[in-house]
Amino acid sequence: MYADAIIWPFVACFLVMFMNRRNFLAHTLNGAGALLMAPAVVSAASIIAPAVSTGPADIYQHSFTDLNGTDTPFSAWLGKPVVLNFWATWCPPCVKEMPDLDALHKKHTGVSFIGLAIDTSANVRKFLAKVPVSYPLLVAGHGGIDLMRSLGNSRGGLPFTVVFDAGGVPLGQILGVVHPEELDAFVVNMQL
């Protein structure tokens, strides 16, 4: 697992160079020194509890662009539990888990599943033509890395998933690919 954490950032950077994402990545990493801090990708992860919070997370104060270019306030999802998945088109583990998240979205209609891309709208639109999902996708761009860090992902690794209750309080987080069975059980227990 340690080897995955070391190798994947370089694999992701290599893939980005060949997928015409150089400008986005250069802006995101803020120069060559940050290459060593590229998002580590964990192959599998368990749900862990975040720090105790008494109110909605700060992310609910932000707005994000949907794929039509419309600003969407994240506060629109207050009042319903949320599974928020940070992802990118150039992140193979992110892409791998999307069908599982889509299936869980279809199963748990009382929970909002939202994908927040650390990418560009153009890249996400192209991606959706190949891998469609039924849950909403919003775009955070490079600013999403700081949002992930504010939610407890200090390394800014992808994929990163946070589960919020209906009041916007974080209940759990996953750094790495979700285990669908674990996330399913967590969501079921959360709704009881």
Q: What CATH number does domain 2-191 carry, 3.40.30.10, 3.30.1370.10, 3.40.640.10, 3.40.50.720?
A: 3.40.30.10
Percentage, residues of the chain above pLDDT 90: 66
Q: How high is the pLDDT of residue 188?
A: 94
Q: How high is the pLDDT of residue 43?
A: 46
Q: Which of 37, 50, 161 is nearest to 97 (CA)?
A: 161
Q: How high is the pLDDT of residue 45?
A: 61
**CA gap 173, 160 in Å, rounded:** 7
**CA gap 159, 83 in Å, rounded:** 13
Q: How high is the pLDDT of residue 190?
A: 84
The per-residue pLDDT for range 126-184, each reduced to its tens digit, is 999 999 999 999 999 999 999 999 999 998 999 999 999 999 999 999 999 999 999 99
pLDDT band with cut points at 50, 70 and 90 for residue 57: confident
**CA gap 5, 19 in Å, rounded:** 22
Assess whether pLDDT exceeds 90 at residue 55: no
The per-residue pLDDT for range 74-105, each reduced to its tens digit, is 999 999 999 999 999 999 999 999 999 999 99
Assess whether pLDDT exceeds 80 at residue 42: no
pLDDT band with cut points at 50, 70 and 90 for residue 24: very low
Task: State the average pLDDT for the chain.
Answer: 80
Token pair in block for residue 15: 């893939």
Percentage, residues of the chain above pLDDT 70: 71
Assess whether pLDDT exceeds 60 at residue 2: no
Assess whether pLDDT exceeds 50 at residue 37: no
Q: Which amino acid is at 180?
A: P
The residue ranges of every structural domain in the chain are 2-191
Q: What is the pTM of this model?
A: 0.77
- At residue 165's C-alpha, the angle toward residues 161 and 167, to 5°, is 125
Higher pLDDT, 138 or 51: 138
